[in-house]
Amino acid sequence: RADGHQAPPPVVHYHMNDLTTSDTSAERGERVLILTPMMNFYQGYWENLMKLQYPHEFISLGFILPKTSEGNAATVALQEAVAKTQSGPVDDRFASVTILRQDFDPPLQSQDEKERHKIENQKARREAMGRARNSLLFTTLGPSTSWVLWLDADIVETPTTLIEDLTRHDKPVLVPNCYQRFLNPETNEMDVRPYDYNSWMESDVGLELASNMGPDEILLEGYAELATYRSLLAWMASTDGIEYDPNRVVELDGVGGTALMVKADVHRDGAMFPAFPFYHMVETEGFAKMAKRLGYTCWGLPDYFVYHYNE
């Protein structure tokens, strides 16, 4: 303007009814927010992310890292990777990147796989993870986000078409099967085994156990001392008798978060990761229950795999 004053910033209108979540997400330019709580930075995670075929211009990234020495080191490595990618070839660049530091205390003690999977350590850990996920979600979810893809920092291998493959099913909540590659000592060859046991169908025993629990007690999956007899997605992968079909879907009651596709509207309706017992569940399993209480359905892909880093 001639008088040198800047025009006031315009009000931005978002037409949320036009925001789609569809089975043709890439063609429609639906925006995907990839959220990762990160304790360690793995090059394999970043390389896998870079290889995702979905147009990077429609992908935003969000991270939350703890304020521990490990978290500090991971933040430095992550910032380096981000700087390199965002100044590299235009097609590789992501729409935006947000890095948060988790400031609530006490920070989680760094634990190795064996230590953190001990049943007595799980409740505090899972509740802290719930708070970290919520904090990340509520600071990054934008008015134009169609999908939220939760992806743990130690998922080092997925199909390059992960986003297209998961959104194509057009489900409110969808979880692939999370396995781990390992050197099988019996055959001395590389092999695969289930990693994440948090995706399951409820059982009568599980319901019965929960009904006898105190209000602050939670049910955990994958522990012999707490046999729930739930049907685990981990064990639903095709075997000799069942034909392999990566598109096969099963309805679930609990989901894990190592890789998890959620329609942004499920979160907008209020489904989050309870850091308190919700129907005797916390974090991602509590999230599945909350989504269900809001009227959504949760699904799993028994024959579609992502792979967890092997410590």
Collapse the DSSP code of 105 into the 3-class scheme (helix H, G, I; strand E, B; otherwise coil) and give the result: coil
- Burial state string for 131-143 with b = 16 or more CB within 10 A and e = fewer than 16: bbbbbbbeebbee
Structure tokens at 177: 């099967």
| Nearer Cβ to ligand GDP (116/168) | 116
Collapse the DSSP code of 301 into the 3-class scheme (helix H, G, I; strand E, B; otherwise coil) and give the result: strand
Q: Say whether residue 152 binds ligand GDP (CB under 6 A).
A: yes
Collapse the DSSP code of 120 into the 3-class scheme (helix H, G, I; strand E, B; otherwise coil) and give the result: helix
Collapse the DSSP code of 200 into the 3-class scheme (helix H, G, I; strand E, B; otherwise coil) and give the result: strand
Q: Say whether residue 196 binds Mn ion (CB under 5 A).
A: no
With CB under 6 A as the contact rule, the residue among 21, 25, 75, 102 that binds ligand GDP is: 102
**What is the DSSP code (8-state) at residue 38?**
-
Letters for 33-52 (x = contact with ligand GDP by CB under 6 A, - = none) are ----xxxx------------
Q: Say whether residue 194 binds ligand GDP (CB under 6 A).
A: no
Q: Say whether residue 254 binds ligand GDP (CB under 6 A).
A: no
Dihedral-angle region of residue 171 (phi above 0 means left; psi in -120 to 50 means alpha; beta otherwise)? beta
| Nearer Cβ to ligand GDP (128/264) | 128
> Residue count at the site for Mn ion (CB under 5 A)?
1
| Nearer Cβ to Mn ion (75/180) | 180
- Select the span of 8-16, 72-80, 146-154, 184-192 touching Mn ion (CB under 5 A): 146-154
Residue 283 to residue 66: CA distance in whole angstroms: 17
Site residues (CB under 5 A) for Mn ion? Answer: 154
Site residues (CB under 6 A) for ligand GDP? Answer: 37-40, 64-66, 102, 108, 116, 128-129, 132, 152-154
